[in-house]
Structure formats: C-alpha cells, structure tokens
Amino acid sequence: MRKAKIERKTKETQITVELNIDGTGKYDVSTGIGFLDHMIEQLSRHSLIDITLRAKGDLHIDYHHTTEDTGIAIGEAFAKALGERKGIVRYGHAYIPMDETLTRVALDLSGRPYFVWKVEFTKPKLGEMDTELFREWFQAFAFAAGATLHMENLYGVNNHHIVESCYKGLARALRVATDIDPRKSDEIPSTKGTLGGSL
C-alpha cells in the first residue's frame, strides 16, 4: 500500500496529513474552512485516495496560509507515498461536466513541477473563501507533488461548479495516473530510467 504521513508546522499553520493512494476514497478533513474541507473531500472521494487532514492556521488574519499550506502538505504526502513512481501509468486527464460547467484537467506525474491555470471567476468569494485562493491551492499541490498540472475551465457560469469541477478533475486524473500499469509494473515510466529533474 502506498501510504504516507506528513506533519508541517510553521508560525502560520500546523498541519498533519495521512494519505493512502491505494485507498477507497475515505476522508476525514478539518481545516477550519468549510468550503476547502468540501473540496478536499471531493478530491478524496473521486480519486479513491484516502485522506485524513487536520489543519490549524491563522484564520484570524485570512485564509491564505491555511489554504496554500494544505495544498503543500497534501502534495508532499502524495509525493512521499508515490516513492520512486515505479510502474505508474504517469499520465492522466479528465473532462468534468457539472451542470453548465465543463473543465479539463491534464496531469503528468513527472517529478517536474509545473502549473498552468486558465480559470476565471466572476465573484471574489465563495462563502467566506476568496476565489483567488483556489489557484494557490492547486499550484502548491502541483509543486509539492512533483506534478505537471494543467487546468482549464472551458466554460461555466456558476463559480461553485467551476471550482468543484477543478477538484473533481484533478481527482479523476490522479486516479488514472497513479494506477499501476500491469505491463510495466516493475519499471519507471521514462526512457531516462528516472522521474524528476530536467526535461
């Protein structure tokens, strides 16, 4: 089983993440930010990655540090659980419709972090959460996980649907990319023989 536990403590946040890539989508999430909890629960449920997360942050200031640091912590736990990434399919993508919204997510678990974000919102907040913080979460996850991640909302009106389709898209792309390829289960999926580093 590909499992990992990460504890991240700074002057701004204290976060513990336990993660199981070969799980069933069980989650137990508490960040102090209701909408963020809901999105991480969607990530777990649709990727089948078990996630237990506890975060305490400086929410009296704003939600930025807690949002970004949970992305970092989950990404670090994910990278640790993947190990040397032997046998994984490596690539994954998803098109996620949610009512009027359609979002495309493409992912390469290359070990080389890169992030492309083509998502716009028409409201500054969803509940109490600033919509600009979602970009920070996905970027933090991608860089900590060692993933090349491209996200694009092709169209949509409802901001809640747009955000949720991004998290579900990442979840489904991860579910494909982390699967073990039965034809190459003992090999790293790269002609270099290793993942990460330069192109």
Which tens digit of pLDDT belongs to each residue from 16-55?
999 999 999 999 999 999 999 999 999 999 999 999 999 9
The residue whose two tokens read 């747009």 is: 162
d(CA 176, CA 180): 9
Please enumerate in sequence order all residues whose Cβ is within 8 A of that of 75, keeping only pairs 6 or more positions apart, or say none: 140, 141, 142, 143, 144, 145, 146, 147
Q: Which residue in this structure is represented by tokens 């678990």?
A: 109
Domains plus CATH for the chain?
A: 3-177 (3.30.230.40)
- What is the predicted pLDDT for the residue at 181? 86
Question: Is the predicted pLDDT of residue 183 greater than 90, yes or no?
Answer: no
Averaged confidence pLDDT in the chain = 93
Predicted confidence at residue 151, as pLDDT, reads 98
**What pLDDT is recorded for position 198?**
43
What amino acid occupies position 52? T
For 98, residues 6+ apart whose C-beta sits below 8 A from its C-beta are: 156, 161, 164, 165, 168
| Residue 144, φ and ψ in degrees, nearest 5 | -70, -30
Tens digit of pLDDT for each residue in 79-131? 999 998 988 999 999 999 999 999 999 999 999 999 999 999 999 999 889 99
Structure confidence by residue, pLDDT tens digits, 117-172: 999 999 999 988 999 999 999 999 999 999 999 999 999 999 999 999 999 999 99
Confidence of residue 194 (pLDDT cuts 50, 70, 90): low
Least confident among 2-11, 69-78, 146-155, 186-195: 186-195
Q: What is the mean pLDDT of residues 47-74?
A: 97
- Phi, psi (degrees; rounded to nearest 5) at 10: -135, 180
Q: Report pLDDT for 65.
A: 96
Instruction: Assign 103 to helix, strand or coil.
Output: strand
Give pLDDT, residue 199.
41
